[in-house]
Amino acid sequence: MLVAAWTLALGMLLAHAGPAFAQAAGDPTPLQFSDAAEEARFHDLTSELRCVMCQNQSLADSNAQIAHDLRREVLDLMHQGKSDDEIVAFLVARYGEFVRYKPAVEPSTWLLWFGPALLLLGGGIVVARVVRARSRREVPAPVEDQEW
């Protein structure tokens, strides 16, 4: 039982070490995490942030040079004891609301947040009206001498 737990822990450690090693190839000084908790927090945070260069990737996934630089900056800010919110605010102040996958709810993003619900509501009303109109119509009497 104990052996199994250790094997599992070792396996998880190796699995986590993977990406860090892979990054070292292209980067002369890879990111140094002090422990697994820090790495997990770093990964969660950078997955929530959008890469500014290649806008369909997260900061965690992107291989662009600016993404490398910003990841380093994020880790530095973590080492300075900044909270996740402070780090996100730091990046939003410089690169704009765009860096967040979950933009703040404010007048300029209302359409973004509530637009889909509005469309769904509109579609629902149309469907409801059509269904009601059809149900009111009388069912035509079956034609007896129908030939197929």
Partner 1 sequence: MNAPSAPRRSRVGLVIGAVVFLGFLALMFYGVQHSDRADREALPSPLIGKPAPEFALPLLHEAGHMVTSKELLGTPYVLNVWGSWCPECRVEHPVLTRFALTKRVRVIGYNLKDEPEDALRWLEQFGNPYMLVLADRDGRAAIDWGIYGAPETFLVDARGIVRWKHVGAVDDAIIDGELVPLLDQLEAGQ
Q: How far is the CB of 104 from partner 1 (least distance, A)?
A: 13
Beta bridge partners of 112: none
Contact indicator for 31, 20 with CB cutoff of 8 Å: yes
Regarding 98 and contact with partner 1 (CB under 8 A), the answer is yes
Regarding 66 and contact with partner 1 (CB under 8 A), the answer is yes
Contact indicator for 62, 53 with CB cutoff of 8 Å: yes
Contact indicator for 115, 103 with CB cutoff of 8 Å: no
Reduced to 3 states (helix: H, G, I; strand: E, B; else coil), residue 8 is helix
Q: How far is the CB of 148 from partner 1 (least distance, A)?
A: 32
Regarding 95 and contact with partner 1 (CB under 8 A), the answer is yes
Regarding 133 and contact with partner 1 (CB under 8 A), the answer is yes
Residue with tokens 């119509």: 137
Applying CB under 8 A, the residues found at the interface with partner 1 are: 52-53, 55, 65-66, 69-70, 73, 92-98, 122, 126, 129, 133
